[in-house]
Amino acid sequence: MNQKYRIRPLAWALALLVMFSSAAWAQRTILRPGKLLDVKTGKLLTGQALVLEGGRVTSVGAASEIKPAATDKIIDLPQATVLPGLIDAHTHLTANTNFGYDQLAISTPREALIGARNARITLEAGFTTVRNVGAGGYSDVALRDAINEGDVPGPRMLVSGPALGITGGHCDNNLLPYDYHATELGVADGVEGVQHKVREVIKYGADVVKFCATGGVLSKGDDPQAAQYTLEEMKALVADAHRLGRKVAAHAHGSQGILWASEAGVDSIEHGSYINDEDIAVMKKNGTYLVPTLYLADWLAENMQKIGLPEMYAKKMREIVPIVHKNLGHAFASGVKVAFGTDAAVYPHGLNAHEFAVYVRMGMTPLQAIQTATLNAADLLGWADKVGSLEAGHWADIIAVDGDPLQDITTLQRVKFVMKGGEVVKNDYAAGK
């Protein structure tokens, strides 16, 4: 047989395979909810349908104007309210509620495996995007890559790798005596030191740079109010990160550290416990986001004894909590930009949405609270054209709940449907739950 005729059947088979694969990829999904929350306007719309294709939203509009084709996949959620997948801008997926010396027993490979479990839990809780700000040994880089490759289920991740910090500061390993010479991977001192460390974490996969501008609460031997890096060090750190295309998150409790970090140009202040009027004015002038992590105080207050929180941490926690609620409530009322963050790992993953009720309790409307985890967080991450609202061109990251979250914000603690990139990862409605 002529060689060209022997090849032809194979060519036809490959052509058919490509044709059927393309048809499967191009299959539309039409999602028809009972109600759709427009997070930009706060309107709760009825009679809407979302057309999804290739992992993205292609259109949102009146269901009566969308004519399904025979090949379309239809998802009807007549009792549900849908809204964009939620965003948590401050998580630690590769960690659990281990405090004090228990942390020393966790290896980097173990962290990554812990992260795989927590990633699934977080996704199923309705958080389709997270910013992971601090992990040991680049375990969050490995987790992000595994999720992106489809090896494990989880939210979209922007990760920092090890957080930068001064020798002996909140982001160092201060639990062991001198004999062990224990130092965390992110420790760097001086202008040249922080420049080198920024470049290093980016080399090994960091999407965002996180550093400790002040001491912390769940750490030994440091003061949450004390600024750690100097203003010059912060400016050098931020300048290198921004030049290399990375945003910067600053852990900062104390007012001096908050002020210097905002002046240095960070994109967000994490925690902000001792924020004052001077800090607020500078943050508003510079457009710096505040990422409060408030529910953890409620959870720790209820579970401090149960989990055996070491007294060196518990003492600082008791001192800071009353101050946090007063100061951050004032910051909210003063118009500081707020993006949703939880510090999940301080309390169990999956409880992230409990943060919303604290924001409402402190003066936000339910819509404002929801916007912190959608529009605002998307803007902070630099992904406003991809996530945070349901509109054409955005990733098809969608959640659904019973009831109206504008009337009862706690409905977001009971997410019943989750879609990421057009793929359903949870559907309690289909399971009859």
Alpha-helical (H) ranges within 151-276 are 190-203, 231-243, 255-264
CB 403 within 8 A of CB 395: no
What whole-number distance in Å separates Cα of residue 398 and Cα of residue 385?
15
CB 213 within 8 A of CB 227: yes
Longest dimension (CA), the chain: 87
Alpha-helical (H) ranges within 27-161 are 108-124, 139-148
Helix (H, G, I), strand (E, B) or coil at 114: helix
- CA angle, residues 29, 33, 38, in degrees to nearest 5: 100
What whole-number distance in Å separates Cα of residue 382 and Cα of residue 396?
17
Shortest CA distance to 259 belongs to which of 275, 274, 279? 279
Q: Among this protein's residues, is 210 annotated catalytic? A: yes
Which one from 210, 247, 420, 426 is the annotated catalytic residue? 210
Q: Count of CB atoms within 10 A of residue 107's CB? A: 11
Q: Round to the nearest angstrom and report the end-to-end CA distance of the chain.
A: 62
Helix (H, G, I), strand (E, B) or coil at 382: coil
What whole-number distance in Å separates Cα of residue 125 and Cα of residue 121?
6
Question: Residue 377 is which amino acid?
Answer: A
Which one from 316, 343, 416, 420 is the annotated catalytic residue? 343
Helix (H, G, I), strand (E, B) or coil at 79: strand
By annotation, the residues acting in catalysis are 210, 343
